[in-house]
Amino acid sequence: MTIRVFLQRAGKSSIRRIAVLLVCVLALSGCDRGTPLALVKAVAAGVPALDPFFDENSGLGKDAQVASRPVRGSLQQGDTPGLYGGSKQPTVCDVEKLKEFLTDPRNDQKAQAWARALKISTDRIPDYLDRLTPVLLRHDTLVKNHDYKKGKAVPYDSLLQAGIAILIDAQGRPAVKCSCGNPLRPFAGDTNRISVKFEDGNQEWKGYDRSSVVAVRPAPRPLEKITLVDVEDTDRGISRPVGTSGAKDSTFDTQEKRAVPNLAGATFGQARRSLTDKGLAAGYDSEGLPPDDARVTATDPPAGTELGFGQYVMLSVAGDSGSSDGSTTTPPPTTTAPPQSSTSEPSAPGSGSGGGSPPPSSAPPSSGPPPGTSPPPSSGSPSPPPSSSPPTTSPPPAVITSPPVTTSTSPPPPVTTSAPPETTSAPATSSTPATTEPPISEPASGEPTQSAAV
């Protein structure tokens, strides 16, 4: 009864306003649910975990003080040169100690939870650990972390500060946080839709930059060696065989110059592999990682520029199917086309096929005898294509190649009168052939734009 009285007093205009307000609120809440921010817990270097798998006072691993370096593209593959760092210290992570702990029958419950988080069986733990390699993060890195609570591995997204020691697998993916033994998996969310939360002693660290956060994707093939940069002496590079802890390291000079290869026309995947083989990192400006089949249109710096190990080469790409994932430069293919064919030009660059595309929508030249020839002097049976229309007041489009005496099949316009055919057909044929030639050569003019755009 109270609601009915209220509605009667409120009137129709007020009810409409309330309804509109409710619709807007529901619409906005629906949008928020569609694109939520992923909550990410910050984990600072040297700060003990609240719920670790392993006692951090036992010396399993030790973090370092490393300033996060800028990144050119938030998604990087595990074989990116300079992605990880190393140290002159013999080990930053004691893999043998972690193996002994997880294979001890007294820790069987933790071992089972640890193995489930990494999607392996407990009997595979020793072999799995033997294939991991200790490194130091050089970027603030997004991962899926795990706490140990009530006998289970509890996953959560976290941001590990640069300088944290981790173990990575043969494809460069984070696998274990060394200081506490917590298992790690790759971050699966959108790196551009995160909300980082600093709490539990993990204060926002100096140099934190949201634009320098990186997530690691697996290298396309298993690696034999991991190339690192010494975090204490960046002029020193470290080549570490996969599955070793530093005893078999070899060193190299990171300042030795490497020339940027010519990558124009290559796919993004090919360009990235070529740069990796050179010891250079592939960068991009788009929010998402460009597809491997996207074509590279330009590099910054250009080909021939000499750079040190691990420096970024920015790749501008354009999608193969007319769509580009975050491309910064797209070739302008329609600058040299004749004015008459401007409506059909956009399809030429997308096809990329040689030999020319079919002429634009003039039907007569594609059927019947050769177009554009001078009218035959004989008055025999005409050979124009059947598609020519009856005589009109304007000159016919392309096929007026026959000046026959008979009026039953000849297309020239002058046959509307009874004047002698020989005198009326000559002017018609002398004016039209010149206008029918350009459509035949149009496709050739569209092809050079492909090379001009590279």
Q: What is the pLDDT of residue 87?
A: 87
Q: Tens of pLDDT along 363-404?
A: 344 444 444 444 444 444 444 444 444 444 444 444 444 444
Per-residue pLDDT for 354 more than 50? no
Query: Which is more confident, 392 or 232?
Result: 232
Six token digits for residue 8: 């009667």
Per-residue pLDDT for 332 more than 70? no
Helix, strand, coil fractions of the chain, as percent rounded to 5: 30, 20, 50
Q: Tens of pLDDT along 104-128?
A: 999 999 999 999 999 999 999 999 9
Q: Is the peptide bond before 301 cis (omega within 30 degrees of 0)?
A: yes
- Angstrom distance (rounded) from CA 12 to CA 16: 6
Q: Residues 268, 73: contact at Cβ < 8 Å?
A: no
pLDDT band at 12 (very low <50, low <70, confident <90, very high): low
Q: What is the pLDDT of residue 17?
A: 58
Query: Which is more confident, 286 or 243?
Result: 243
pLDDT mean over 236-260: 95
Q: What is the pLDDT of residue 18?
A: 53
Q: What are phi and psi of 208, to 5 degrees?
A: -60, 130
Stated pTM of the model:
0.65
Burial class (CB in 10 A: 0-12, 13-18, 19+), 385: middle
Concatenating the DSSP letter of every residue in 275-329 gives HHHHT-EEE--SSSPPPTTPEEEEEESPTT-EE-TT-EEEEEEE-TTS--SS-S-
Per-residue pLDDT for 438 more than 60? no
